[in-house]
Amino acid sequence: MEEAIKINDRLRRLTTILWCVDVDTEDRDHIKAMATHLKAFTLGCEVDIEPVYVVDNSQWDSSPQVYGDHHEVSRKRFKRLLKGLSLPGLRDTPTILETKPNVPPSIRSVVEAVNDYVESRTPDVVALSTAARKGLSRFLLGSFTETLMLHSPAPLFITNPKTVAMKNFKRVLFSTDLSAESRYAFHLVISQLKVLKSKLFLFHHFAPPMPPLALSEGISMSPEFVEEGRKRELSLLNEWAQWAISQGVSTEVVGETKLGRTADLICNFIKKEKMNLVALASRSGASASVLLGSTTRHVIRSSEAPIWVLHPHLGKSS
Domain boundaries, the chain: 16-159, 166-213+220-317
How many C-beta atoms lie closer than 10 Å to residue 285's C-beta? 10
- Between CA 203 and CA 175 the distance in angstroms is 5
Ordered mean pLDDT values, 10 residues apiece, the chain (318 residues): 41 82 76 91 92 75 54 78 88 85 76 91 90 43 70 87 85 91 88 93 81 52 72 92 96 91 92 94 54 69 89 48
Identity (one letter) of the amino acid at 37? H
- Between CA 289 and CA 284 the distance in angstroms is 9
pLDDT of residue 147: 78
Percentage above 90 pLDDT, the chain: 33
- Between CA 303 and CA 306 the distance in angstroms is 7
Q: Report the topology of domain 16-159.
A: Rossmann fold (3.40.50)
Q: What is the DSSP letter of 219?
A: P
Question: What stretch of H or E contains 68?
Answer: helix 64-82
CATH topology match: 16-159 vs 166-213+220-317:
yes
pLDDT of residue 67: 52
- Between CA 17 and CA 150 the distance in angstroms is 19
pLDDT of residue 217: 54
pLDDT of residue 131: 53
pLDDT of residue 9: 39
Q: Is the dihedral of CA 186, 187, 189, 190 positive or negative?
A: positive
- Between CA 150 and CA 284 the distance in angstroms is 5
CATH code 3.40.50.620 for 166-213+220-317:
yes
Of 264, 301, 305, give the one whose Cα is nearest residue 131.
301
